Amino acid sequence: MSFNGSLPQSASGPDGVPNALLAALTESGGGDGPGPAVEAAHQIARRTGAAHHDALVVLGSGADTALDGWGPPTASLPLSDLPGVICPIAPGHVDRLDSYEWRPSSGVDEAESPTTTPRGLRVLVAHGRTHLYEGRGPGAVVALARAAAATGVRAAVLVNANGCLRDWRIGEVMTITDHLNLSGASPFNGTVFVDQRELWDPQLTAIVRRHTQRAGVYAMVRGSEYQTPAESRMLAALGADCVGMSTVLEAIALHQLGVRVTGMSVVSDLSFAAAPTDPEEVVRLVASAHLTLATGIEALLAAL
């Protein structure tokens, strides 16, 4: 079962969550059911003063300051204050969730923002995420995604850093058009059958693609070790353009809950290079892509 996000707010339970979304949260929540996600959404509402949010942005390794040009957020809280969400520990990830009241600037392409009156959106921006290799299980990895869906978000932009399997350049940004889940994990337990053919929303992905240098397939592996040369050759042969250790489980969880998903992945390491991968260098190199990331995110928000 998945929720298509089209029900009116009047079709809601006593906790304010639409009944179809509550059912989808229940089905995919395992032993915890919808409880942690709904309580986290209520806490976000209390701490931010916003009854609902429209979009979620998750900033990955080294991208945590990509939206500093937006100025101070309306409200901010630690991610780890939310039920089920743990403090990020990876380099370049920060334990912070910001809430912005975002409006398109005059520089936004009118073709992507067809209305003449600027529309205010409430946007959640996570400055870090939990990874499967931290050993907390898939539930912790997707806890923020589920909480964001319960706040009402209808679109999400997921950002990460990657090891590139093609002859591309450091600092280029790839719009994610599809993925390979090679992590050995799923955000679901039980019979949660979700069609993934259009998980990466075609319309939103097309908008973001206009602002990135590349487009392609992102492969997720568990990590935390980097792949061997033989594994890099295998991934390339399977059709992956880039590889990383995040994003895919979050995307699947959001898609099942009716949230439209798109993503951007920054080339921060060349998998076939002779030099070993330095995780601190990966974080530093992502900074060169901040303008591209911000432009893509803003274009998508303007289209909502």
- DSSP code of residue 79: G
Q: How many CA atoms lie within 13 A of 133 on its CB side?
A: 13
Contact 244, 265 (CB under 8 A): yes
- Report how far apart, in Å, the C-alpha atoms of 228 and of each of 70, 270, 285 are: 40, 12, 22
pLDDT at 13: 52
Query: pLDDT at residue 259 above 90?
Result: yes
Q: What is the three-class DSSP state of 266?
A: strand
Query: pLDDT at residue 53 above 90?
Result: yes
- Report how far apart, in Å, the C-alpha atoms of 64 and of each of 60, 91, 177 are: 7, 11, 23
The number of angstroms, rounded, from the C-alpha of 248 to the middle of its chain's C-alpha atoms is 8
Q: What is the pLDDT of residues 68-85, one digit of tens each?
A: 999 999 999 999 999 999
Contact 176, 201 (CB under 8 A): no
Closest CA to 244 of 261, 262, 220, 270: 220
User: At what angle are helices 138-151 and 248-256 packed, to 10 degrees?
Assistant: 40
Query: pLDDT at residue 303 above 90?
Result: yes
Task: Respond yes or no on whether the N-terminal peptide bond of residue 265 is cis (omega within 30° of 0).
Answer: no
Whole-number Å distance between alpha carbons of 106 and 31: 47
Q: For residue 106, name the pLDDT band (cuts at 50, 70, 90).
A: very low
Domain annotation for the chain: domains and CATH numbers: 19-303 (3.40.50.1580)
Report DSSP letters for 204-258, one per residue: HHHHHHTTSSEEEEEEE---SSPPPHHHHHHHHHHT-SEEESSSHHHHHHHHHTT
Query: pLDDT at residue 5 above 50?
Result: no
Mean pLDDT to the nearest integer, 183-202:
95
pLDDT at 279: 67
Query: pLDDT at residue 199 above 50?
Result: yes
Q: For residue 278, name the pLDDT band (cuts at 50, 70, 90).
A: low
Query: pLDDT at residue 240 above 90?
Result: yes
Q: For residue 263, name the pLDDT band (cuts at 50, 70, 90).
A: very high
In Å, the largest CA–CA distance within the chain is 58
Query: pLDDT at residue 180 above 80?
Result: yes
Mean pLDDT of the chain: 89
Whole-number Å distance between alpha carbons of 237 and 231: 10
Whole-number Å distance between alpha carbons of 250 and 63: 17
Identify the residue with better confidence: 57 or 109.
Answer: 57
Least confident of 152-156, 272-276, 292-296: 272-276
